[in-house]
Amino acid sequence: MSNKWCAKCTVCSIVIKDTIKTTSNFVKHLQTKHPKQHDEWKQLKTKENPVSQQRSITDIFGEPKRRKTYPSSHSRQKELSVGIVKHLIVEMGLPLSLVERNSFKIFMKLVDNKYKCISRRHIT
């Protein structure tokens, strides 16, 4: 399970990513890109108002959206899996164990971070 989350800024609609349970990237975005909204948020935060009256980071950015992997039936998941088998394993003669190597999994996250690597047992 990923420990990352992202949210869309309600001011400029840019997607900001951060680690779950932290808000530093969101605060930094407000501070640098939207100083007026950051000042408002900071003032509300420092006042002794009830929590329900304060604007929180999630009020400004919306609810977090966790990054998910493709379901096995998704066309992109199938396309990448077939491509790996056809081009890397069959045509290039690479071993089935390639798909279970950590460096390959890291590479595939760079290719498409929603892709869930198949196991060699799935291929056979």
- How many Å apart are CA 26 and CA 9, to the nearest integer? 8
Question: Do 9 and 60 belong together in one domain?
Answer: yes
Strand partners, 65: 6
Question: Do 56 and 90 belong together in one domain?
Answer: no
Q: What is the pLDDT of residues 33-90, one digit of tens each?
A: 989 988 888 887 776 555 556 677 777 777 766 668 899 899 999 999 999 999 999 9
Is the separation of the CB atoms in 90 and 72 below 8 Å? no
Is the separation of the CB atoms in 23 and 2 below 8 Å? no
Q: What is the pLDDT of residues 18-27, one digit of tens each?
A: 887 777 888 8
Provide the domain limits for residue 113: 75-123
Question: Do 19 and 62 belong together in one domain?
Answer: yes
Largest CA distance in the chain: 67
Residue 108 has pLDDT above 90, yes or no: yes
Q: Which of 66, 87, 111 is the last residue of a domain?
A: 66
Question: Do 11 and 62 belong together in one domain?
Answer: yes
Tell me the pLDDT band of 91, cut-offs 50, 70 and 90. very high
3-state class percentages of the chain: helix first, strand second, coil last, to nearest 5: 55, 10, 35
